Amino acid sequence: MATKYETVKEKIREVISSGQYQPGDQLPTESALMKEYQVSRYTIRRAMGELENEHYIYRIQGGGMFVEDWHNNHDQPVNQKVVGVVTTHLADYIFPSIISGIDRALSSQGYSILLGNTHNDHDQERLSLQRMLDSNVDGLILEPTQSARPNPNRDLYQQIEKSHIPAMFIDAHYDDSSLPYIDLADRETEAKLVDSLFEKGHERILGIFKIDDMQGVGRLQGFMDAYTEHPDKTLLSDVIMYQSSDDVASIFAKLAQHLQGAERPTAIACYNDQLAIQVMDVVRSLGMKIPDDISIVGFDDYLLSAYVLPGLTTAVHPKNKMGMDAGEMILRLISGEQTDPIVYHPEIVERDSVKDLTK
């Protein structure tokens, strides 16, 4: 748990790094800061002392405290060769493969990685981004947290752009940002997945999509695009939407209602493979068989997707390639080269989780 002075120090640093105070601006007096943060003079002095040591502020004897040119005045380690990587997860799902690819590309050029895990939480994202800025990394590879929702940390992303730190996005990006990115064609690929179900005679399809990240929103849009192209089937579609903070039990209870209804779906299109594997368990718990009673498709080609029974039909996320390409892109940015965005168009791998109703 952070001490009082650490909490005050972090809050004042955030005010400075957000641009509310510019280099050379005078800060409030110690007395004003004591009143604002409801702490003792000692706490303020210790917090400001550390900020001074870290080159965020400077003092003029008898004149007060002022904002230093904090980014340019940091002591930059010589030949540091460190790239910061901030993602929503580190050890779960597809992320180890992505990070491994980044590391392979960077280590071949003598760079190491400083990792930041946001746990898909905006508060943790802020801490990770601030840590990267404080560490004077040579470049940044960023996956925004809950990218489809308003982000309270956009000020730090804007600070990164204004500071001209070589930086890029992976797996999601902000349209109003000038930073380059590597993404998937989520919308187009999900439409192809649903079309493949149509081709096998499925019309009553349930889509289950997380909608607080851009990947999920794109996949939901692709699901709707497929039905838009087949207006005769539109009334047979159904969707469950959820967010990261939603209770998983409530999502699966809603799924069970659909499966036990009079007009249950013949197929389910899932946000990703991790969800699809859990949906398989729900289907089996209701005494139904896959794919005889319910067909299921996922997205990402997670490692376990080929080994579950039946094997899961899914779209192939180029995980390791994304990592390698991201590592190579950030190296080009560090060297001052311009680079264009990369968008992958995943292939669909068909396994045994879909029944062909046309036969």
pLDDT digits (tens, 9 = 90+) for 164-205: 889 999 999 999 999 999 999 999 999 999 999 999 999 999
- Shared domain check, 313 and 202: yes
What's the whole-model pTM score?
Answer: 0.79
Residue 80: band (very low, low, confident or very high) from pLDDT cuts 50, 70, 90: confident
Contact 251, 206 (CB under 8 A): no
Number of domain units in the chain: 3
| Distance between CA atoms of residues 330 and 165, nearest Å | 11
The overall average pLDDT reported for the chain is 92
Residue entry with tokens 């980044």: 102
Helix (H) or strand (E) holding 127: helix 122-135
Mean pLDDT, rounded, for 333-337: 91
Compute the distance between CA of residue 211 and CA of residue 205 in angstroms, rounded to an integer.
18
Regarding whether 293 and 191 lie in a shared domain, the answer is yes
Could you tell me the CATH number of the domain that includes residue 278?
A: 3.40.50.2300
- Domain identity same for 224 and 253: yes
Q: Is residue 359 part of a domain?
A: no
Following CA atoms 27, 140, 144, 119 in sequence, which dihedral angle do they give, to the nearest 10 degrees?
A: -90
Q: Dump the DSSP string for 136-204.
A: T-SEEEE--TTTTS--TTHHHHHHHHHTT--EEEES---TT--S-EEEE-HHHHHHHHHHHHHHTT--S
Q: How many CB atoms lie within 10 A of CB 141?
A: 27
**Do residues 141 and 195 share a domain?**
no
Residue 76: band (very low, low, confident or very high) from pLDDT cuts 50, 70, 90: very low
What local confidence, expressed as pLDDT, does residue 77 receive? 44
Give the model confidence (pLDDT) of 233-255 as tens digits. Answer: 999 999 999 999 999 999 999 99
Confidence label for 313 from pLDDT (cuts 50, 70 and 90): very high
User: Would you mind telling me the total number of residues written for the chain in this entry?
Assistant: 359
Is residue 350 one of the residues assigned to a domain?
Answer: no
- Of the pLDDT bands very low, low, confident and very high (cuts 50, 70, 90), residue 2 is low
CB distance 228 to 234 below 8 Å? yes
**159 and 195: one domain?**
no
Which among 206, 198, 312 has a CA at the least distance from the CA of 251?
Answer: 206
282, 301, 317: which is the final residue of a domain? 317
Is residue 74 predicted with pLDDT exceeding 60?
no
